[in-house]
């Protein structure tokens, strides 16, 4: 492993050391989401969630797609580090309960 690869891996691990960002990645492994869904799930402000997503996007872990006025986020499975992310998520609790909560509260379809 080159010094550059080691640096990249260390930066990704630092980035995922934040439980909110790790949960976001876990959720995106299941479904694409918009900011409003993360705001509801994490009970955080939209600017705070956007900051987390920007860091993940800057690292190349997530990508965004515009759908009308909404921005939908998804994992960038083409990223060379995606296999590492998948392996890390094996040790993280499944985030599906967050989607169940969103649906139960009528918040899952808020961006369609």
pLDDT of amino acid 68? 84
CA angle 9, 77, 8 (to 5 degrees): 15
The percentage of the chain sitting over the pLDDT mark of 90, rounded to a whole number, equals: 81
Task: Compute the average pLDDT of residues 55-61.
Answer: 96
Query: Predicted confidence band at 88 (pLDDT cuts at 50, 70, 90)?
Result: very high
The domain over range 3-105 is classified in CATH as 1.10.10.10: yes
As a whole number of angstroms, the distance between CA 110 and CA 107 comes to 5
Residue given tokens 């990645």 in the structure block: 25
Q: Does the pTM exceed 0.85?
A: yes
Question: What are the helix (H) ranges across 1-112?
Answer: 3-15, 19-30, 35-42, 46-58, 82-89, 96-104
């Amino acid at each position: 492993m080159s010094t550059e690869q080691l640096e990249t891996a260390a930066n990704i691990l630092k980035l995922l050391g934040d439980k909110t960002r790790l949960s976001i990645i876990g959720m995106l492994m299941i479904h694409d989401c918009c900011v409003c869904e993360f705001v509801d799930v994490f009970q955080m402000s939209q600017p705070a969630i956007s900051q987390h997503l920007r860091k993940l996007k800057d690292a190349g872990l997530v990508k965004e797609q515009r759908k009308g006025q909404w921005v939908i986020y998804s994992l960038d499975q083409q990223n060379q580090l995606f296999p590492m992310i998948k392996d890390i998520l094996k040790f993280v609790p499944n985030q599906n309960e967050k989607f169940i909560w969103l649906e139960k509260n009528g918040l899952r379809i808020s961006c369609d």
